[in-house]
């Protein structure tokens, strides 16, 4: 009888080895939520991804921003703590979602931002809806820790409070209204907070 866990592990291993670098965060999320593989296998797959990313960085590979044509230094994901620019402090539950909490690493000690809350699903929705109005039209803007915006990691952009970005998108007709964010998958409680408060660097 075949080892189902081993089969799934080998499946994910093959997928990782044949995937584009920008697809690795999604693959990581898939196997982290796959109950058919063990935690030890998931950790091993994460190590394979880390090696993949380190090799990718070693040769100075670049990713070209499709919107601006500018080159960006990969990777920028929670897999490698955003290019090892950040330190994960812990995880917290809010608005029915789990958020990873990050602080800047010592190389960004002068950043006025000391803590940043990140949820991949929320960032993905915001990126899809708001790329046309974020500063510099930076793809995956909401996947960047604030201390990277305006640095060599993201030189074509600056930090802008999320409520201002959303109001700008509504004003320009990019999205119809705040309720549209709920229709597209954001928790209503989160949208209500964004609409009434400037939560600053928390997203």
Q: Which residue has the tokens 């070209």?
A: 64
pLDDT by 10s per residue, the chain, length 203 = 334 456 888 899 888 888 776 677 778 778 877 888 888 888 888 888 777 666 555 444 455 555 555 555 444 566 667 877 888 998 999 999 999 999 998 877 778 788 999 999 999 999 999 999 999 888 889 999 998 888 777 777 888 889 999 999 999 999 999 999 999 999 999 999 999 875 544 55
Global confidence as pTM: 0.61
Residues in the chain: 203
Question: Per the structure block, which two tokens stand in for 177?
Answer: 């209204």
The whole-angstrom separation of Cα 63 and Cα 25 is 15
Cis omega (within 30 of 0) on the bond before 75?
yes
**What is the four-CA torsion angle of 48, 50, 55, 56, rounded to 10 degrees?**
110
């Amino acid at each position: 009888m075949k080892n189902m866990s081993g089969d799934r592990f080998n499946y994910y291993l093959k997928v990782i080895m044949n995937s584009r670098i920008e697809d690795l965060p999604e693959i990581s999320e898939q196997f982290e939520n796959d109950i058919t593989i063990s935690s030890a296998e998931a950790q091993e797959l994460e190590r394979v991804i880390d090696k993949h990313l380190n090799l990718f960085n070693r040769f100075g590979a670049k990713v070209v921003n499709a919107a601006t044509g500018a080159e960006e230094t990969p990777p920028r994901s929670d897999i490698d703590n955003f290019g090892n620019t950040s330190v994960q402090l812990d995880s917290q539950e809010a608005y029915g979602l789990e958020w990873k909490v990050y602080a800047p690493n010592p190389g960004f000690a002068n950043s006025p931002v000391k803590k940043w809350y990140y949820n991949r699903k929320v960032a993905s929705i915001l990126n899809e809806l708001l790329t046309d109005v974020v500063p510099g039209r930076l793809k995956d803007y909401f996947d960047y820790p604030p201390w990277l915006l305006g640095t060599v990691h993201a030189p074509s952009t600056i930090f802008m409070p999320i409520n201002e970005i959303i109001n700008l998108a509504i004003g320009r007709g990019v999205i119809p209204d705040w309720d549209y964010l709920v229709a597209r998958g954001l928790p209503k409680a989160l949208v209500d907070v964004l609409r009434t408060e400037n939560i600053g660097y928390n997203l």
